[in-house]
Every structure is written in C-alpha cells, then in structure tokens.
Amino acid sequence: MPARLSRVMLTAALAGGLVVALAACTDGAPSPAPTASSGVQTGAPTTSPTAAPVLVPGGSAEANLPFFDSVNAGLVAQSTAANTTPDGKAFISALRDAGFTVTDMQVTPDITTVGVKADTIQFSVALGGQCLIGQFGFGEYHSLVAPLLGTGKCLIGETRTIDW
C-alpha cells in the first residue's frame, strides 16, 4: 500500500508542477476585444486553408511547439483510433521520424519502480536553451515550453535510455 501511495503522490506532484508551469506561461493581460469590420464584403467569402505546422530547424522551442504538438496529437489520435495507448517509445519514435534529434530528447519510464504501468509519461526535446515538454496520461496530452535546467536537461528525475 505505501508504494501505491508514493506513486499517487509522485503523480500528483508532477501534475501539480505541470499546472504551475502552464499557469506561469500566461501573461495575465486580457485579450483584446474583437473589432467590427468597417469594410463591406463583396463577392464570395474567401478562406485560406491553415498550413500544417512544420519543423523549424535551428528555431526556438517556441517556434517549434506547434509542430511538436501536431506530431504528438497525431500519434494520440492514431493510437485512439487503434484502441491502444502510446508509450514513451512511440512518442520518441514519432518525434525522431518527424525530424527532432534523439540526442536532444528525454523520456520517463513507462513502468513504475513497483512494476506497474505508469499513469503518465513525460518526454522532452531540448532546443536552443529551452525545452519542449510533453505529457501524456489518463487519455490526455499536454505540452509547454520551459527553460533548460541547470543540468542541461529538460526533465527532473529518472529518465530512460533512448536506444531504439
């Protein structure tokens, strides 16, 4: 029972840290109010398709966050359609196949120290002194951009060797 309690406490602490980090990403400024268009539209309305996010080689973590999210959301959607759950290897493989460098990545273990499937996994890519950090658990994906740690890494705690 104490091991289960430790795992629950660790999961709660990681989730709380992610919430605090995500909350820190907002500047607190109110969004500008929408403005009415003063022009008169003539003819058929035009729409332009939204371009798919792309990897920005040499770009900042912030510039690559839309692509990072796109790759991970695609994996989650694909896994959901197949009625499976993506693991750390799947996320790292998808990011590698999309063009991110494996030596810049970290991933937490899929199995806890007591041998049960982890409720959540975290994975990261270090880019230019910043980190793209993703978390998947309980069927949900979340991400953020955070500063690189003093260790030169993105994740705190135990990570697994990426050797595939």
For the chain, 164 residues long, give each residue's pLDDT as a single digit of tens: 444 444 444 444 444 444 434 334 344 444 444 333 333 444 455 556 788 999 999 999 999 999 999 999 999 999 999 999 999 999 999 999 999 999 999 999 999 999 999 999 999 999 999 999 999 999 999 999 999 999 999 999 999 999 99
Phi-psi sector, 104: left (phi>0), alpha (psi -120 to 50), beta: alpha
- Extract the tokens encoding 158: 């135990």
CA distance 148 to 127: 9
- Extract the tokens encoding 14: 């990681």
CA distance 67 to 61: 10
Extract the runs of DSSP E, i.e. beta strands, from the chain.
105-107, 120-127, 130-137, 140-147
What's the pTM?
A: 0.70
